[in-house]
Every structure is written in structure tokens, then in C-alpha cells.
Amino acid sequence: MDKIIKVGISLLSPFVTKNQYGYSGFEIDLWEEIVKRANIQYKYVRMPFNDLMNSVKNGNCEVALSGITINPEREKYLDFSTAYLSCGLLILSRKKNKIKTIDIIKNNILKECLKIILFFALFIFAISNFIWFSKKNYGFVSTNYLNGIIESIKYLYYSAYHLSFYDISPYQKKDRILFGAIIVLAFIISIIYIIKSLILLFRKEKDFDPQSIDDLRSKKIATERASTSERLLKLENIKTISYLKIEKAFKKLKNAYVDAVLYDELAILHFIKDKSMFKISRRIEENQQYAIAINPQSGLRGEIDAQIMKMKEDGFFNFLYQKWFGE
């Protein structure tokens, strides 16, 4: 095939990972063996996982792979290769809900404070740039950028303090009180935001060991956006926090932002193999079939299926499976 096809991918260990030479992983090895045997020219297009299906549907990519599972909703507008892996979903939780105070301060409270400070700093910098750009030619601020930004910050301060744009003269007492009230309100909101992290310091609840999907109902559960896990949690009306990358969900679980993570079995098993702070609470019996998503107009399904079947017959697929997942 002379045409260079576009292959949509998203990082998801151990299926697709990034290294110094490009990409590696179980599905990368699988795909590159398929195109080698079928003499297909291709290039990878990296994107967030929740964009993969639409990219294939809209024809921006001919195929996509990265731990994609077959479900009835996706089958309405996509073709899929023959399934090459099957697994369920796992509930991942912490071994101990009570985490160290220093870890809470470092991973939660300090980070929330830095986020608030960074937000206000960027806001002030953006407004100051607007003031400098719009007023530099009218004598309000210096035409020199650095001096002008400093003066713009000063004018912004006086404008907010006196509730009168560019007015640095004393203003009425009631207006100062109103401005002070606004500052206090902003401070209170910031404190409330931080308290969410402080609450973790006093958590006394027992270790969370869910045995079924029903045990997740009163908890905060994290997963990856647009995944099968997200679809299941929403169908069950369980409070779900979805992230663009599953690694972010794992990080939130580690820092006690969420109570558990529900996600694909193979990805979780690969993630926790060297991490002793997590435990697998229960396997949810979902028959998930992994496959390559294919645009129906691409005409690639027959060739891809043929090569996958040949790999299963000649033992190459079994070699890949043992390489990435073991026995």
C-alpha cells in the first residue's frame, strides 16, 4: 500500500509508551508487526484518549489503538479488528486510608496553595499587559516594557483599591470597605479550597475494601475520560471524577483525593507491579475485548484481521503477550 495512513495513539502503559526513540508497548509492537507483514506505510498521531474514536470516525486517522475496547456505542460508527485481548475491570484502592501528615502537606496543601498563587499571579500579569499595551502611547505608563509592566501593576492596585480605574487619589471610606469585603471574600474562598486538603489530616475512616460496584456509591471514584470504566460508573450513578490520563487518576488515589480507581485490568496490573501502597480490591466481571479501531471507509479491516490471525497461528502473538504481560 503506497498511501501513508495515520494511526491515532494515546499514551497508556503498557499498551503505548514513549521512549527516547519513539513509541513502544504491546500494541505498538503488535501494530508494527502488522504493517511490516502487510507492507503498510504509516505515521503516528498522538492525542488524548477521548479524541481517538472521533479522529477515526471523522477520517482524520484511519486507525487508532491504545487500550481501546469494543462496545455497542462505538460499534455504531467504527469498525474493529478481531479482538486480541480480553479482560475485566479492577477496583484499585489504597492499603491504608490514613496517610502521613507530611505527605498530605506536600502533595495536597502546598500544591493547592501554589495553584491559587499561580492563578492570581497569571491574572495580574495578563491584566497588566493589557493596561500597558492599551495605554503606553497615552502617557499613563512607560513605553519601556519592563518599566511599563511595573507601572501597570501599580495602577491596577490603585484602581482596585479605590474602585476607580487609574484614579490614585483618596476615595470614600465606604468604597474602601467594599473593596476590603471583596478581598476578604476571595480569601475565604481560597481557605475553603485548602480546607479540602486539610480535612485529610483528620480522616479516621477504616480502610476501604470494596467488594462490589455497589460499595463505590458513597465514594469518590476516579477513572479515565471516555473509557469503558467511566461509562459503567455513570450508568450506575456513581460519583465519578474523570481525567484525561489514567496516570492522573492513580496519582489522585495515592494522594487520597479519591477513594478508589476503576479501570482496565491489564493497565492496573502493570501499574501496581512495583507499588506497595495500592491493593486490588475486586475484579468487576466485564468482558472487555481489546481491538484496533478502524474507519469503515479505509478498507483496512480485512488486512489487519488477516495479519493478527497469522500472528496467533505462528506464535508471534504469544511471544508479544509474554513480553509485556508475562505468563
The yes/no answer on whether domain 4-84+291-325 falls in CATH 3.40.190.10 is yes
Question: Exposed (0-12), middle (13-18) or buried (19+): which is 187, by Cβ within 10 Å?
Answer: exposed
* In contact, 284 and 238? CB cutoff 8 Å: no
Mean pLDDT lowest among 10-24, 116-130, 156-170: 156-170
Averaged pLDDT, 4-12: 95
User: Which residues make beta-bridge pairs with 283?
Assistant: 90
Inform me whether the pLDDT recorded for 170 exceeds 50: no
Q: What homologous superfamily does CATH list for 91-98+207-287?
A: Periplasmic binding protein-like II (3.40.190.10)
Is omega for the bond preceding 72 within 30 degrees of 0, making it cis? no
Give pLDDT tens digits for 40-65.
999 999 999 989 999 999 999 999 99
Residue 76 phi, psi dihedral angles, 5° rounding = -65, -30
Three-class SS state of 324: helix
All structural domains of the chain with their residue ranges: 4-84+291-325, 91-98+207-287, 102-201
Question: Cell triple for residue 164?
Answer: 476607580
- Mean per-residue pLDDT over the chain, rounded: 83
Phi and psi of 31, rounded to 5°?
Answer: -65, -45
- Other CB atoms within 10 Å distance of the CB of residue 277: 11
Task: State how far the alpha carbon of 234 is from the alpha carbons of 213, 217, 225, in Å.
Answer: 12, 11, 11
Q: Do domains 4-84+291-325 and 91-98+207-287 have the same CATH topology?
A: yes
Report, in angstroms and rounded to the nearest whole number, the Rg of the chain calculated over CA atoms: 27
DSSP SS3 for 77: coil
Is the model's pTM score more than 0.75? Answer: no
Res 39: pLDDT: 94
CB-CB contact of 83 with 208 (8 Å): no
The CA-CA-CA angle for residues 216, 222, 224, to 5°, reads 130
> Which segments of the chain does DSSP mark as H helices, in order?
26-38, 49-57, 72-75, 101-104, 110-135, 145-162, 173-198, 228-235, 246-254, 265-272, 301-314, 316-325
Looking at residue 266, its pLDDT comes to: 87
Asked whether the beta carbons of 223 and 263 are under 8 A apart, the reply is yes
